[in-house]
Structure 1
Amino acid sequence: MRRFLLGLILGTAGSGITWAATEHPTWTAVIGITVAVLVWFGEFILDDLT
């Protein structure tokens, strides 16, 4: 649950920063979703790399 909330918060923060810099809805969505997914699945990705 903690990882989900952290991904949600960081994804929202990334989207907010992207929106402030570009005001482009596609980039905003891509960055927000990418950050959230990387946080949610980061443990599995790192385990596969080692």
Structure 2
Amino acid sequence: MRRFLLGLGMGAAGSVIAWAATHSPGWTVVIGLTVAVLIWFCELVLDDLI
């Protein structure tokens, strides 16, 4: 649950930064979802790499 909330918060922060820089809804969604998904699945990816 902690990883989910961290991903949610960091994804939202990434979206805010993308919106402030580009004012593009498309980039805002892409950046927010990418950051959130990378945080949510980071443990699974690291397990496969190690």
User: TM-score when scaled to structure 1?
Assistant: 0.97
* Number of aligned positions between the proteins: 50
Two-structure CA RMSD over aligned residues (Å): 0.4
Task: Report the counterpart of residue 19 of structure 2 in structure 1.
Answer: 19
Sequence identity of aligned pairs in percent?
A: 70
> Which consecutive segments of 4 or more residues in structure 1 shift more than 3 A?
none
Any unmatched runs of 5+ in structure 2?
A: none
Q: Give the whole-Å Cα distance in 2 for the aligned partners of 1:8 and 1:31.
A: 12
Task: Provide Cα deviations, 1:22-45, integer angstroms capped at 9, x if missing partner.
Answer: 000000000000000000000000
Tell me, which stretches of 5 or more residues in structure 1 are unaligned? Answer: none
Please report the TM-score for the alignment, with normalisation by the length of structure 2.
0.97
